[in-house]
Amino acid sequence: MRKPLIIANWKSNPLTLKEAVVLARSAEKYSKIFRGADVVVAPPFLFISAVSKILRQAKLGAQDVFWAEGPYTGEISLRQLKNLGVRYVIVGHSSLRMTLGETDEMVNKKIKKNSLKGVKKSQLERVVVAYEPVWAISTMPGAQVDTPQSAVRALRYLRGILSRMYGKKYADKVKMLYGGSVSAKNARQFLILPGVDGALVGGASLRPQEFGEIISQASAF
């Protein structure tokens, strides 16, 4: 199995810089203790600069990026993120589709116009795909974590699409994550699955000890 990747998606949390610093320090602490897993922390743009000064072992992520540089009110470009040390960017999250009407075309532009121009085969090892059923996201009413069987099926399906596009050898380089109500209680049942390279963690990444427990479980694989 590849080194598991655990991505913390803080969404629009926390409310204060002070809390963000506490969360980032904790994620960094657990990343240093449990080095068997790669950890990425994706805070809101607001806290990226402060969090960048704390993370060393854990990598810095962002929750979105715009497709162009220039005079776009409220938007953030890839170059700005890179200059702050951002190594990962989440694009196409379902919450943007649902609340802001982000379309496939917009997601496509964000990918193609930024560093992954045309996604060359050799760059596929830098691509991470997260399968995250909307109904499993912890903030959705009646959210329920997916079953391991269903997650395996979905990820196999997604890898099949990549294989047809790029060939199996290259498709296998892409890391595939499960996301949706991942907690310290259920993380292991996903991390252990064939074809699952890690987890995208929302709510539980805001609970320092629980997030540490998830990192520790991932590190043990």
Residues tagged active-site = 93, 132
From 179, 196, 197, 210, residue interacting with ligand PEP (rule: CB under 6 A): 179
Phi, psi of 104 (to 5 degrees): -55, -40
Is the CB of residue 185 less than 8 Å from the CB of residue 153?
no
Q: Is the omega angle on the peptide bond into residue 148 within 30 degrees of 0, that is, cis?
A: no
Instruction: Please identify, among the stretches 100-108, 119-127, 190-198, 200-208, the one whose residues bind ligand PEP according to the rule CB under 6 A.
Output: 200-208
Does the footprint of ligand PEP cover residue 176 (CB under 6 A)?
no
Widest pairwise Cα distance in the chain: 47
Nearer CB in complex with ligand PEP: 28/93: 93
Residues 139 to 168: which contact ligand PEP by CB under 6 A? Answer: 139
Run of H or E including 131: strand 128-131
Is 119 a binder of ligand PEP (CB under 6 A)? no
> Residues 90, 63: contact at Cβ < 8 Å?
yes
Binder among 37, 81, 137, 171 for ligand PEP (CB under 6 A) = 137
From candidates 43, 180, 198, 212, binder to ligand PEP by CB under 6 A: 180
Contact present, 11 and 44 (Cβ < 8 Å): yes
Q: Contact residues for ligand PEP (CB under 6 A)? A: 9, 132, 137-139, 179-182, 200-203
